[in-house]
Amino acid sequence: MTDDPSLASRVRQLLETAAHDSLPMTYQQVVEALGLQPPRTIQRVAQALETLMREDAEQDRPFIAALVVSRRGEGLPAQGFFDLAVDLGRFPADPAQYAKAWRQEFERVLAAKE
């Protein structure tokens, strides 16, 4: 879990209120928008996003974490996102299908925000 229990809710609030044309955001943009200070800023955001994924899975909501991508990796989330999505039963286990599954989840989140 995160060192700051409110970080997950702060990340959710940021993503829920972000303008559609500013999405997806990178992990670094989330760090900067929330004014997080080192150490381990990206890791803390990633942990918060995993918390949000578990909450969304429990509530049968689209993964709001799909709105955050890595600067590396062709505009996709980090590998941990896909690993957890598979573990939570939302994404196929075949990595070749990850990009398509992410795009569909991203669109579901945007539709839910409207």
Tell me how far apart the 2 most distant CA atoms of the chain are, in Å.
36
Q: What are phi and psi of 93, to 5 degrees?
A: -75, -20
Compute the average pLDDT of residues 36-43: 96
Give the predicted TM-score (pTM) of the model.
0.94
Annotated domain spans of the chain: 7-113
CA distance 68 to 65: 6
* Model pLDDT for residues 13-25, shown as the tens digit of each residue: 999 999 999 999 9
What integer pLDDT is reported at residue 5 of this predicted model? 65
Cα–Cα distance for residue pair 102/110, rounded to 1 Å:
12
> What mean pLDDT comes out for the span 35-52?
96
